[in-house]
Structure 1
Amino acid sequence: MAKRRSNGEGSIFQRQDGLWVGRVSLGYDLINHRRITKTLYGKTKAEVRRKVTEATRNLDQGLTIQSRSQTVGQFLNSWLKEVAKPRIRPSTYRSYEQIIRNHLEPGLGSLKLDKLTPQHIQTFLNAKAESGLSVDHLRRVLRAALNQAVKWDLIIRNPAIAVSVPKSEKFEYLHLDPDQARTFLGFASKTRYKALFTVAMAVGLRLGEALGLRWNDIDFEKGVLHVRNQLQRIDGKLTLVPPKTARAKRQIPLPDFSIEALRLHRFEQDETKLANSDVWSEMGFVFASTVGTPADPRNIRKVLKGILRDADLPNLRFHDLRHTCATLLLAQGTDPRTMMETLGHSQITLTLNTYSHVIPALQREAADKMEAMFGTTQNR
C-alpha cells in the first residue's frame, strides 16, 4: 500500500515495490495542448525530494519541459498563429510569415528554444547582412516573438535584446533615366494597361494602390487622384483594404498627360463593357479585367516584363516605376516634403534615405547655380 505524502512535500509517495515517486507539474504545453507533468524516481524519499526541489527550481527559472522540448521554429509558428495573427493586418501577417519561413526558421529553427543565445542570433544576422539583406526587420520580428516567450515563462530573458544590428549593404534601387522612361511609356502605350503604367510613372503609385482605384477616386475636373484603398491578395482572394498608414491615404495632383491617359482609358473601358455586357461585373475599378473584376497583379507584372523585354530596358519590378518617379522628381528640384506627400511616406527621413543617391547630383547642381550667380562677378 502506497504511503501518504507529508504536508509540503508535493506529490511524493512510495509504491508497493518500495520505490519512491515524485510528480511535478511544469505548466501547459501550448503546442500539444496538454498539461505537462514530470515523474521522478528514487530509492529513498530524500532522493526524490531533492529531485522535486531541483525540478521546481528549474521551473521558477523558466527551464520547463516545454521550453526544452520545443524548437525555435515550433515556437515561432505557434506565436505567429496564436498571438500575432489576431493583432496585425493581413498584409503584415503575410510579411511575418515569409520572414519566419524564409529566414528565421531555416537559420535558427532547429535550435532548442531555451538554448538560443545572443551569439546564435548575432551570427545569423551577420550572415544575412553580408548577403545584402536588410536585417532590422528580421530582428524586430524575432524580438517580438521572444518577448512573448518570456511572458509565457518559456525562457528567462530575451536573447534578441542583446544583439547589435549589423549594417547591411546599401540596397541600390533600380530606376529609369528620363530617356528610358519616355521609351518605356512609348512601349506601354501598345498595351491595354497603358494608363496604369502612365499614372504609376507620373505620381509613383504602389501597384496595390493603382489597382485599388475606382472611378470615383479620380476627380477629372480638379485633376486630382484620391488614394483611399489598395488591392491585396488575402487568403488567395483579391480584396480592397485601407492604406496602411494615415499618410498613405492621400490626394495627389495629376499632370495633364496622365489625365488624358485616364480619359482615353475610360472610353476604351466603356467599349469593352459594351462588348462584354453579358459577363461584365460593374465594380467601378479603374483598372479592371475584361469582365470588370479587379485586374490581377500577377497579370500586370507579366505585361510589365513584356514591355521591358520589347523596349530592351533593364529588368525592373513594378515598384521600381515608383522609384523612377521619385528620382525624376528629385532631379527636377522637387522638395522632399512634397515628395513625401506624393509618395505617401510616413516620415520624411524615409524619403531622404531611400533616394539619397540623387542628393550628390542635386548638390553639384546647386554649386553650379551659385557659380553662375557669383563666379563671374568675383573674378573681375
Structure 2
Amino acid sequence: MPRLPYPTIKQGDDGWWHAYVTVGTKPNGRADQRHVRRKTKDEAVARVDELLAQRRSGAVTKAGRAPTVQSWMETYLADVAPRRCNPETLYDYRSKCRNWIYPHLGKTRLDKLKPEQLDAMYLAMERQGKAPSHALKVHRIMTRALEVALRRGMVTRNVAKLIDAPSGKSPKMSYLTEPEALRVLAATAGVRNSARWSVALALGLRQGEALGLRWAHVDLKTGEMEIPKQLRRRIYEHGCDGTCGKKRGADCPKRSKGGLVLVDPKGKSERTLPIPKPLIAKLKQHRKEQRSEKEAAAEWWQDGDYVFTQTDGRPLDPRQDYQAWVDLLAAAGVKRVRLHDARGTAATLMIAQGVPIEVVQVVLGHTELRTTQVYAKVVDELTRDATDRMGTLLMGDEGADATDGDDDDEEDEA
C-alpha cells in the first residue's frame, strides 16, 4: 500500500491552522477524514502526527470530541457496569468516583488522560491515610472503565495498565482451630437457630448463601443441599435522578427497590453439596423446632420457606446474624474472628482431615483452585507449628538447642 503524503497544514482566514487527515475508511466505504483545527501550527502538527500514528497502529479514536473522564464514568456506571455488577457494588463504585476519581480526574478529557495523573491520585489517597486496598479498588474501577473505552474506540490505550497497580494487602485471615470450633458448636446448645453455625463450620457457606437457603433446596432424605441463591441487602437508590433534595436514596419518594433480596451466588458458586450425616440430624431437629414456632406465630408467620428465620418467618438480617456470631464466640470463650473466617475454618479442617483440595474447591464454590490453595498453605503452617510445639513438649529447650548446634556444625564442616 503506497504511503500517503503528509497532510497539508495551512492557516485559514480565521487565524486558525487547518489540516485534513485520512485515517481509514468508514463503514459506507467512504474515506474517514478528520479535520484538524488548532490555534498554532505546532499544535496542528502535533495533532496530525497523533492521527497518523493512530492510523499506522490501526487504533483510531472515534470522530468528535472525546468525553471527560467524569462524563464517561457516568455513562459506564449507568449503561455498562450494571450488566456485570450487583447494586451494592455499583453503589461502592459511585462513592469512589465521587470522592476520588471526579475531584482528581473528572475534568480531564478521556483521550488526554496520562498515567502520571493516576499516580498522583493514588499518592493523594495514601497521604490522606486511605488503606492500600482502597486505592487498589479505585485502580480496578478505572482499569475496567478505560478498557471498555478502548474497545469502543474512545481512547487508543488504557493508561491504567501503564502503571503499577497500588499494592493492596489483603486482611490477614484468622481461623478457629478444631478445639475452638468444637467449643463454638458446644456453645450453640439451647441457642435459637443453632444449626446455622453447624452449617457454617461444616460446609463453609458464605453468609448470604446460608441466609438465603430454603427448605426446597435441602433434601434431608438424599442428604444433598443446593445453593442456587444468596440473600443480600440491596441499597435503596434515588429514582428521581437526584431532584428530590434527599441525600440518602432510602429517603427518596421514588426510591428504587431495596432491602433483603435473593440474588445469584458469587462467581460460579451455584452448586449441590452433600450434607454430612451429623448435620442431617441437626437440620431435622431445627426443622422440627421451626414448625413449632410457625404454629405459635399463627397468622403472623411470613412463610418464605427459609431454613433460618426470625421468630415471624422472615429471613435473618445479615447484621443480626453477624452479631449472633460475635455473641457466640464470646460465650464459647474463643478469640474473635470474622464471620467469613468460619468459611476458612471449614476449609482448613476439611484439608487437615485429608479431603482432596479439588473437593474442597467444589464445596466452597471457588472458581479457581489457587483460591482454595491458600487454605492448604495455612494447614501446612498449622501442622508445622503443631509439630514444633510437640517437639518442645517432648524434648524441652534442650532439643531446640541441639538442633541449632547441628546447623552450626554443618556450617563449620562446610
Scaled by the length of structure 1, the TM-score of the pair is 0.71
User: Offset at 1:151?
Assistant: 5.7
Equivalences for residues 134-149 of structure 1 within 5 A: 138-149=138-149
Distance 2:349 2:85 in 1: 32
Residue equivalent to 1:374 = none
User: Offset at 1:342?
Assistant: 1.0
Q: Which moved more, 1:158-167 or 1:49-58?
A: 49-58
Distance 2:84 2:314 in 1: 27
Residue equivalent to 1:299 = 320
Identity, % of aligned positions: 27
Residue equivalent to 1:369 = none
Q: Write out per-residue CA displacement over residues 175-223 of structure 1, whole angstroms, 9 at most, x where no aligned residue.
A: 1111221222222334212111111111101111111211122221222
Unpaired runs of 5+ in structure 2?
A: 1-11, 20-34, 52-60, 235-256, 388-414
Q: Write out per-residue CA displacement over residues 79-120 of structure 1, whole angstroms, 9 at most, x where no aligned residue.
A: 2113222x2242xx4224314524x55343322333532123
Amino acid in structure 1 at the alignment position of 2:227: V
Superposed CA RMSD in Å reads 3.5
Alignment partner of 1:82 is 2:103:
no
Residue equivalent to 1:182 = 182
Residue equivalent to 1:108 = 101
Residues 268/55 of structure 1: CA separation in 2 closer, same or farther (3 Å cut): farther
Residue equivalent to 2:13 = 45
User: Offset at 1:50?
Assistant: 5.5
Residues 140/253 of structure 1: CA separation in 2 closer, same or farther (3 Å cut): same
Maintained 8 Å contact 1:345/1:351: yes
Q: Write out per-residue CA displacement over residues 55-95 of structure 1, whole angstroms, 9 at most, x where no aligned residue.
A: 5966996797664xx4x45542332113222x2242xx422
Partner SS state of residue 133, structure 2: coil
Residue equivalent to 1:28 = none
Residues 271/357 of structure 1: CA separation in 2 closer, same or farther (3 Å cut): same
Maintained 8 Å contact 2:132/2:166: no
Which of 106, 117, 121 is equivalent to 2:118?
121
Alignment partner of 1:286 is 2:254:
no
Residue equivalent to 2:240 = none
Equivalences for residues 236-275 of structure 1 within 5 A: 236-246=258-268, 248-275=269-296
Distance 1:124 1:138 in 2: 10
Distance 2:134 2:177 in 1: 26
User: Offset at 1:170?
Assistant: 5.2
Q: Write out per-residue CA displacement over residues 269-296 of structure 1, whole angstroms, 9 at most, x where no aligned residue.
A: 1111001111112221111222222222
Residue equivalent to 2:330 = 309
Alignment partner of 1:322 is 2:347:
no
Maintained 8 Å contact 1:130/1:169: no
Residues 107/314 of structure 1: CA separation in 2 closer, same or farther (3 Å cut): farther
Maintained 8 Å contact 2:294/2:312: yes
Maintained 8 Å contact 1:121/1:160: yes
Maintained 8 Å contact 1:135/1:166: yes
Equivalences for residues 195-206 of structure 1 within 5 A: 195-206=195-206
Alignment partner of 1:336 is 2:362:
no
Residues 124/320 of structure 1: CA separation in 2 closer, same or farther (3 Å cut): farther
